[in-house]
Amino acid sequence: MIEIFVSFLVLFVVLTATAYYVSNYRKPTGYTIDRVWNISVNSRLPRKGFDKVRAEGLYQLELAMRDLPEIESVGWIEIEPYSRSTSIHGSKFNGSEVDVEVNSASDECRKVLNVPLTSGRWFSAEDNAVKFDPVVVNEELAHRLYGEDNPIGKQSIDSNSRIVGVMKNFRK
């Protein structure tokens, strides 16, 4: 009896995991990866004291890539699609606990990944002068935070951020 029960538990776990991954696989990604290259750079510089040198080197690399006629646009994203890395932040928002997967991206990232927006706009150079952090959220988070209300211009889960755009649900 114990062997049958354990076999049933294993079968249940395997079928549940399979159903979850098949369901996740069938969802749209929310971006395109056709003709997109992922380039990782390791400067081998120590983390402390070399932030400006590292940033200048990456800027020079970006300028060099923009000069190549084969490259349509150049952008960066901290945690690229299909990586095994995540950054999850938990916070209380309007009295309820909210866990959010967070990522940083450049102004040009939308052009590289062709991320469709449903409302608002993507980051731009005009955001460099504002005192808050501009945030683009997916529809699921916008609905969870504000229901049917328009989230544009409202606070995200961080008190120093404002939502400037809403994109289709994004599957990493």
Each residue's pLDDT tens digit, 122-154: 988 888 888 888 999 989 889 888 888 999 988
Residues near 137 by Cβ (< 8 Å), separated by ≥ 6? 145, 151, 156, 163, 165, 166, 167
Dmax over CA atoms of the chain, in Å, equals: 70
Please name which of 156, 111, 140 lies closest in space to residue 28, comparing C-alpha atoms: 140
Q: Determine contact, residues 114/123, Cβ cutoff 8 Å.
A: no
For residue 149, the one-letter residue type is D
172: number of Cβ within 10 Å? 15
pLDDT band at 158 (very low <50, low <70, confident <90, very high): confident
Q: What is residue 58's predicted lDDT score, i.e. its pLDDT?
A: 85
pLDDT digits (tens, 9 = 90+) for 9-54: 999 999 999 999 898 888 878 788 888 888 888 878 887 888 888 8
